Chains A and B, each alone.
Chain A
């Protein structure tokens, strides 16, 4: 994998559903994996930064895992709420400090 790839591109869920997204990244020259939340008309905000294989991070109903050996990360949202509607971006950072972003997963949560 040469680029950072995210799936799905978009997701529509009902309030209360749990959901997850995937981020695939090159496992060579890997330093850190970032997740950001991006609401319409705002700037991206950091959710998690993970560096170690097996890392798991949690913030409220949102959690993330990291597998650096196979080059993927999952973001989980438990019990989605309408305010979770946003685009979720992941980015892979190399040792030089360069960040490569995926195109994002757009989540819409219906009340």
Chain B
């Protein structure tokens, strides 16, 4: 198993540009989520999904869209990038065991200038 994969590893955007951060898992996990990590702020939940076709907002959803058309993929879309979205983004998934232990991807470092 490749586990949770994220692409790209690094990205630089200009203000106003749009892009999609990719996240995929091959462990047949129902639960997937996106976090951002900022200095002094810890990990903050952006959006999460408990299964294909179902998504919900976390703590900091503004400026981000998600969709979950398959169990494997959970892309995060930035519609119009802002400097405040400069961060490290982590995708995570968890098995349907009821405890929701998170398996994290390697992260994407995004800079918006």
Q: Which A residues are within 8 Å of any B CB, using their own CB? A: 32, 34, 36, 43-46, 49, 51, 89, 91, 93, 96-104
Whether A104 pairs with B101 at a CB distance below 8 angstroms is no
For A99, give the chain B residue with the smallest CB separation.
B45
Q: Which B residues are within 8 Å of any A CB, using their own CB? A: 31, 33, 35, 40-45, 48, 50, 56, 58-59, 90, 99-107
Whether A32 pairs with B99 at a CB distance below 8 angstroms is yes
CA distance A28 to B48 in the complex (A): 21
Shortest distance between the CB of A93 and any CB in chain B (Å): 6
Whether B100 pairs with A93 at a CB distance below 8 angstroms is yes
CA distance A45 to B48 in the complex (A): 18
B33 surroundings in chain A (CB, below 8 A) = 99
Main secondary structure, interface of B, reads strand
> Which single member of A51, A93, A104 contacts B42 (CB below 8 Å)?
A104
Whether B42 pairs with A103 at a CB distance below 8 angstroms is yes
Shortest distance between the CB of A77 and any CB in chain B (Å): 20
Main secondary structure, interface of A, reads strand
Interface centre among A93, A97, A102 (most CB of B within 10 A): A97
CA distance A3 to B29 in the complex (A): 27
A45 surroundings in chain B (CB, below 8 A) = 104
CA distance A97 to B49 in the complex (A): 9
Whether A44 pairs with B102 at a CB distance below 8 angstroms is yes
Whether A49 pairs with B100 at a CB distance below 8 angstroms is yes
For B33, give the chain A residue with the smallest CB separation.
A99
Whether A89 pairs with B43 at a CB distance below 8 angstroms is yes
> Which single member of B40, B56, B106 contacts A97 (CB below 8 Å)?
B56
A44 surroundings in chain B (CB, below 8 A) = 43, 90, 102, 104
